[in-house]
Amino acid sequence: MSKLFIRQGWGSSRLVASPSRTLVGVSGLLPFSPRGALGLTQATFPRGQRGYSSEPNRRSPSRLQPFLYALLGGSVGLALAHYLHSPENNVIPYTHEKAHDIHDQKEQRAVNAPWKHVDYQQVYKDIANILEEGAEDYDDGSFGPVLLRLAWHSSGTYSKSDHTGGSNGATMRYAPESNHGANRGLDVARHKLEDIKKKHPAISYADLWTLGGVVSVQEMGGPQIPWRPGRADTTADNCTPDGRLPDGSLKQDHVRDVFYRMGFNDQEIVALIGAHAVGRCHAERSGFDGPWTFSPTSFTNEYFNQMLTQEWVPKKWSGPKQFVDKATGTLMMLPADLSLKEDKEFRKYVELYAKDEQKFFADFSKAFAKLLELGVEFPPDAPTYRFEPL
Ligand code: HEM
């Protein structure tokens, strides 16, 4: 009974929206009338107080009654429990994805080796194939950068002191995390990956989003990133507090605070931020504006080269403080970016990576794989995939 209810209830978005509908869903699935089960037939009312059924009572409810009470009580209890745990019914406004993650969680618990049920190579290909689909008028012609940013922001909430946050759980599906200022614009990436989720329903969102980052880096020409499956999706209760992701208007002390909290060292920090080789800032999302390099859909060490070779001047505008290259005024750097070359320790790695792209690729690959796995407890037999770019 409960299985039937859960499948019907969560498989169909029509049945999940309201408590009254939930109960309709329950009663519709009961193999008997709940009214009958409650004994609300004429025969159960004291003589002279007829119930509203005019049907003659065909059986005595007395023997069945306790059993039916228990059954109905159980069903209503289950319905209530699922109602309360539904992301859609959470008091926090739910953002966009339907409640099928609960259904998926059940599947994931049942399937403790998801790699036996998901063709990740095919998922990789399917993501690779949508990176430029419909992107003719989007930014620089690829969703790669925003997918990469989704992977990073879903993972970069990790705190090693209490093991909260990280990619496990995919909690950015829920408000308040989806509404955190740092995550503005990432709905674009989440919606894009929804098509892949539909095609491969057994993959968890947490695995899908991190794999999206891997595909994006590799398909934009970056290094191979080893990747393991095994993350599970959780509920809105596990959303992380706002303020865990870095603020572009702050400098090296803040950058260290944020990345040390996750467990990274200076060299890993510089390598990771080298991802700003791709993508751009959007005034309507972060308030900042412009790309870091002249090739924002190619994963290269250009971020470090531009940082060291251009002369950076404050942008003259009414927006937040940022820098533009003096020569063309088209590239940008955040105060946080430029702090990497101002800080003696960080600068060592900026210079190293500007000189040696292979070294940058090798270090980025290690640090990014680590980022995507922060806080995730993989089953011991989880395989590591190394995908070839298409
Ligand atoms: C101090 C650390 C960092 C700061 C302050 C920072 C800040 C920002 C800001 C303000 C944006 C612009 C968002 C927008 O307006 O759309 C951005 C974009 C981006 N960031 Fe970072 N970021 C940091 C580290 C990282 C790391 C570690 C990665 C990846 C490993 C990353 C990957 C990206 C990508 C790919 C974009 C472009 C997104 C797009 O084009 O839509 N960032 N970042």
Question: Looking at the structure, do residues 184 and 244 belong to the same domain, yes or no?
Answer: yes
Q: Is the CB of 213 under 6 A from ligand 1?
A: no
Most ligand 1 atoms within 8 A of CB, residue of 152, 209, 256, 333 to mutate: 152
Q: Is the CB of 146 under 6 A from ligand 1?
A: yes
Between CA 144 and CA 212 the distance in angstroms is: 8
Question: Looking at the structure, do residues 203 and 295 belong to the same domain, yes or no?
Answer: yes
Q: How many domains does the chain have?
A: 2
Question: Looking at the structure, do residues 60 and 138 belong to the same domain, yes or no?
Answer: no
Please report whether residue 96 resides in a domain: no
Question: Looking at the structure, do residues 47 and 176 belong to the same domain, yes or no?
Answer: no
Beta pairing, strands 290-291 & 312-314:
unpaired
Residue owning the nearest CA to atom 37 of ligand 1: 279
* Four-point Cα dihedral 289, 295, 297, 301, nearest 10: -100
Residue 293's CATH number: 1.10.420.10
Residue 368 CA: which ligand 1 atom is closest?
30
- Give the residue numbers marked as catalytic: 153, 292
Question: Looking at the structure, do residues 17 and 149 belong to the same domain, yes or no?
Answer: no
Dihedral over Cα of 125, 211, 194, 231: its sign:
positive
Residue 29, domain extent:
2-85
Question: Looking at the structure, do residues 76 and 205 belong to the same domain, yes or no?
Answer: no
Mean pLDDT, the chain, integer: 80
Query: Which residues touch 128 (CB under 8 Å, ≥6 apart)?
Result: 215, 219, 389, 390
Residue owning the nearest CA to atom 8 of ligand 1: 248
Between CA 29 and CA 4 the distance in angstroms is: 8
Q: Which of 4, 174, 182 is nearest to 101 (CA)?
A: 174
Please report whether residue 120 resides in a domain: yes
Question: Collapsing DSSP states into helix, strand and coil, what is residue 313?
Answer: strand
> Which of 85, 103, 131 lies at the terminal end of a domain, its last residue?
85
Give the distance, in angstroms, between the CA of residue 10 and the centroid of all CA atoms in the same chain.
20
Question: Looking at the structure, do residues 206 and 267 belong to the same domain, yes or no?
Answer: yes
More confident residue, 15 or 294: 294
Please report whether residue 222 resides in a domain: yes
Q: Is the CB of 279 under 6 A from ligand 1?
A: yes
For the stretch 219-244, pLDDT in tens is 999 999 999 999 999 999 999 999 99
Q: Is the CB of 280 under 6 A from ligand 1?
A: yes
Tokens 């900026």 belong to: 350
Between CA 208 and CA 191 the distance in angstroms is: 12
Between CA 184 and CA 169 the distance in angstroms is: 19
Between CA 224 and CA 7 the distance in angstroms is: 39
Please report whether residue 338 resides in a domain: yes
What's the 149 CA to ligand 1 centre distance in angstroms?
6
More confident residue, 357 or 41: 357
Cβ distance 98 to 88 under 8 Å? Answer: yes
What is the C-alpha radius of gyration for the chain, rounded to an integer number of angstroms? 27
pLDDT at position 77 is 54
pLDDT at position 75 is 60
Question: Looking at the structure, do residues 77 and 195 belong to the same domain, yes or no?
Answer: no
What's the 279 CA to ligand 1 centre distance in angstroms?
8
ω into residue 176 within 30 of 0, thus cis? Answer: yes
Please report whether residue 380 resides in a domain: no
Q: Is the CB of 248 under 6 A from ligand 1?
A: yes
Please report whether residue 312 resides in a domain: yes
Question: Looking at the structure, do residues 70 and 137 belong to the same domain, yes or no?
Answer: no
Please report whether residue 106 resides in a domain: no
Tokens in use for 83? Answer: 């109602």
Please report whether residue 224 resides in a domain: yes
Question: Looking at the structure, do residues 46 and 141 belong to the same domain, yes or no?
Answer: no
What's the 80 CA to ligand 1 centre distance in angstroms?
41
The answer to which of 29-43, 160-174, 282-296, 349-363 has the lowest mean pLDDT is: 29-43
What's the 378 CA to ligand 1 centre distance in angstroms?
27
For the stretch 318-377, pLDDT in tens is 999 999 999 999 999 999 999 999 999 999 999 999 999 999 999 999 999 999 999 999
Question: Looking at the structure, do residues 221 and 293 belong to the same domain, yes or no?
Answer: yes
Q: Is the CB of 287 under 6 A from ligand 1?
A: no
For the stretch 77-126, pLDDT in tens is 555 444 434 333 332 223 333 334 444 444 444 357 888 899 999 999 99
Cβ distance 200 to 119 under 8 Å? Answer: yes
Question: Looking at the structure, do residues 250 and 129 belong to the same domain, yes or no?
Answer: yes
